Each structure stands twice: as C-alpha cells, then as structure tokens.
Structure 1
Amino acid sequence: MESTTHKLYHVHGFDSRQHLENYFSDKPDMAFQEDALKFPIESLTKTFSKGHIRGDVLIDLSNGSFVHHLYAACEFFQHIIVLKVSDRCIMELKRWLDTRTGAFDWGHAAKLHGEIEGRSDQFPDKEEKVRSAIPHVVKCDLDKENMTDPVLLPPADCIISVWLLDVICKNQDDYKRYLRKFSGFLNPGGHLILIGALGETFMTVGRDKIHVFTYDEDFARKALVGEGFVIDNCKVKKRTAVSDLSDYKALIFIAAHKEK
C-alpha cells in the first residue's frame, strides 16, 4: 500500500482498543512487549528516578489510549493533564480511569513497572496513583494556534509525548512546527520527553494502515536544538519485535529541557 493511501491518525482516527490489543496487551503472542511496553517504562523510570524532572503540572501528548508511560511520572507531578485528538481515544482512556466494566487491563504493565522499580508488590497502588493524578482529559485540535481552545492550560513543568509526532507529521516542517507548539505549553526551563520510532512508514491497526513520518536520530536531535531545547539524554534501541504490523527500525528516547 502506498503511503498516500495510509490513513492519518488525527484526521481519520483509528480503533483505539484494537491499537491497545495489537501493541500493548499481555497476550502470549504479543510481539511488542520489549519495544512498546518495557522500553518506555524502563526509560522513563530511570529518567525520573534521577530526581531533577519534577513539578506541579505534567502534560501528556501521546497517541492512542495507553497509560503505562505515566506510571513513573505520577510520583513526581501533582497533576497530569492528558490531551487527545480523538473522541474514541478519550472514551477508551476514560473507561480505564473510571474503572468501568470492559476497560483495558493494564495490570501487566503496572506489574512490569513495579519490577523495574524494584517494588513489584506495590503495582495495584501505582494504578490508583495514576488515576488520581489525572484531573482532566482534554480534547485538542492540532491545527489551532491554541490546541486546547477554548480551554487555557496552566504552564507545564514537563511534557511527555509518546509516538504522537510520528503519526501527526507529514514532513520535517510539521515536526518542527509541532515541537514549537509543545514548547509553548512549557515553563522556561521545562522538560520535554519524546519517545518515537525511527525509520517507520506505517503502523497497522485492524484493517487500517496508519501513516507514519519517517525520520532518524540526527533529524530529531537537530529539530529539538533548532526549537530552543537542550538535549539531556538520548537513547536509541534497535527493534526486537518480529511482526509485519509496523516497519519501524528502532526506537528513540529523548529527554530535553527548554532554554530559559
């Protein structure tokens, strides 16, 4: 399938529950456990454990309805504000937040976080901490100057964005433009944490192939520096998943801060 026929995440949306089942479940044949579950949890736990990224408000700008990347963050921020572009993703996330029947079970990810953190017996409490830290799930429009208009968000001490830039950007200019918008949410000196996929052109959700912007580590680094960020840490992990659902070559984790 040519990239021109791939669906755009923020325009066409996707089946958010199928996305979770494909990439984040605890099924024995789930190929992405190392890449999609362990890599974000491990990288974020290690980064936050250093203690220099903390504050009052954290904004989460990520694709889909996953929550496992917030387990480490909830220990260091009072409030986590989640932004989503899709009503379907909001509904799926709220089902988990409200502990409704049929909500996606994240127990395996919470347990994995506990094992990485060295406190595997406390994983049920971790899920409740994440729930209580999220006061709002806000729908955003990426094309608006203020993406959350008419809602005005408080300045954030940190933004986490996981695999969102990959699926909303069509080209390098888009990537830089969205970095600029993200920067506008941050306090001076605030931190931006990005997780993305390198060398990817598509991801499959159900019957749909979703467009993914293809970039490499060098571009990501230069884009951040060009938008006024100082890179504190950058790590690239080669793909381990054996699956034809997506064609990414590696994963990238970047922690940076906004110059004052």
Structure 2
Amino acid sequence: MDSTTPKLYHQHGMDSRSYLDLYFSNKEDMVFAEDSLTFPMTMIHYLLSTGRVEGKLLIDISLGSFIHHLYSASNFFKQIVILKFQERCIMELNRWLHDRTGAYDWSHTSSVAAELEGMRDQLKEKEMRLRSSIVQILKCDFEQENITSPVLLPLADCIISAWILEVISKNEDEYMKNLEKIKKLLKPGGQLLLIAILDATYFTAGTERFHSFKCNKEFVKNAFGKVGLVIDYCAVQRRRNVSDLADYKAALFIVGRKGE
C-alpha cells in the first residue's frame, strides 16, 4: 500500500489510545467535543428516555474503544455485549472495565451523563452501572457468516453502532453488506441506533490516515430502507470544529426499526 493511501481500520489496525486522545479526551486542544462527545450522548439519552427503545440485550459495534455513548444504555439494558475488530481495543476496554492501572480516564464523560440525567452527584455510580452491565467483549469479523464465531449471540433488542460502517466499507456494495450483517443481529422489532460522520473520506489516528467511505444523509436513509429498517428518528448536526484530522462535514444520528 502506498504511504499516501488511507489505511483500512479493520485490516491494518489503529493506535486506539491515540484515537481516544485526539477525539474523546478532556485535553484543552481537543476540538471535537461537541461532535464526538456531546452529540452522541445527548441523542442516545434523549431517544432512550422517550421509552421508544426497550429490552434486555444491547449490542454495541463501534470504532475504537470509547464507552461514553453507553452510559444511558446501561440504565435501560441489563446486558451489554461489545464487539470489536481489534485485540488492542479489547485490551483497552478490559483495562477500563476492570479499573486497572493505566485505564483511560472517562470521568469527563461520566459527569456529562450524570448532568443529562439530573444526577450530578452520582458520577461514580454512572461508571459502576455501566461496568456491571457489560457482560462480554468479543472480537468480530464481518467476513464471517457468524461475525462473532465461534460464539453465537442471541438476537439483540437494540444495537448501537458508532462511526464504524463508513470506516470498514470501501464502497456502496460493502456498506450495504455490512449494514445487513448488523441488522441480522437484531430481533424482529429491534432497533439500530446509528451514529455516523457524513461526507468524510479520511480520519487520522496517531501518525496514520484511515479510510472513510463518503456518504450523505440521503444515502444512509436509503440504505436503511433497502435492508428493511423503518426509520423512527433522524438528526444531523453540522460540524462544530476546525481541524484537518478528519474531513467530515456533519454528524448523523439515525434510528431504524427491524420489521416484525
């Protein structure tokens, strides 16, 4: 591969800690907070608090090793299974899950979650509840018929997928195939909560540039319809920062329900 060609996240690997520092940290020079922290947390909290999404099992299939988008989910789902493409991300998550030395500090996001729920004095409880809800962290491979082989997961009541489809899909056909694989993990009537970046061609982690499939809101909405996901909710937030680390134009939150 030419050094100027963006790498593929799921094939070439990524520095997961650098990715967290660049897009999700509490550092003064971290400019993505509105899009990468506040937007997904607010959207998921709003949707779950309306009572339109419910059940017992939630599966998360997201980029990197962040956890902040799952705080609200832990209030509504007793079991959360996290799927990752990389062992490095699984190690990073396990370090946080078991509160080990060197675990990433997510306290700046637990405070946001507590404020959204009107529980500012219960920061520790937020992290403890999320930890207790996570029952498995598994490696996945979308090239397999059963993406978690040899483990066979029960169908989920809800799936949250953040910033992964556009990163693992090189073109429209792959996007549709990967979306179909995610949909197959849902129960009839279950819902997919998708967080995406729009009109992006790359993002940066560490010193490396990674591929992103360029798509817009209409493409994603049409893709949902083609695989049989009925759209319940859709919101777009225009980009709120200036940085050459990624070239997306907006953030998307869209919810689709699988047919009964």
Same-fold status (TM-score > 0.5): yes
Give 1:142 shift: 1.2
Change (3 A) 1:86 1:97: same
2:209 counterpart SS class: strand
Give 1:42 shift: 0.4
Q: Given the alignment of the two structures, is residue 74 of structure 1 paired with residue 103 of structure 2, yes or no?
A: no
Q: Over aligned residue pairs, what C-alpha RMSD do you find?
A: 1.1
Map 1:16-55 → 2, pairs under 5 A: 16-55=16-55
User: What residue number does 1:123 align with?
Assistant: 123
Change (3 A) 1:205 1:81: same
Give 1:4 shift: 7.2
C-alpha distance after superposition, 1:84-125 (max 9, x if no partner): 010011011111001011110000001011112222111210
CA distance in 2, matches of 1:10, 1:17: 16
Paired residue type of 2:115: E
Higher mean C-alpha deviation, range 131-140 or range 2-11? 2-11
User: What residue number does 2:135 align with?
Assistant: 135
CA contact (8 A) 1:3 1:201 kept: no
1:120 counterpart SS class: coil
User: What residue number does 2:205 align with?
Assistant: 205
**How many residue pairs align between the two structures?**
259
Map 1:1-260 → 2, pairs under 5 A: 5-260=5-260
What residue ranges of structure 1 are gaps of 5+ in the alignment? none
CA distance in 1, matches of 2:183, 2:224: 10
CA distance in 1, matches of 2:4, 2:232: 36
CA distance in 2, matches of 1:235, 1:60: 20
CA distance in 1, matches of 2:180, 2:142: 12
What residue ranges of structure 2 are gaps of 5+ in the alignment? none
C-alpha distance after superposition, 1:7-44 (max 9, x if no partner): 00000010000000000000111101111000000000
Paired residue type of 1:98: H
CA contact (8 A) 1:3 1:211 kept: no
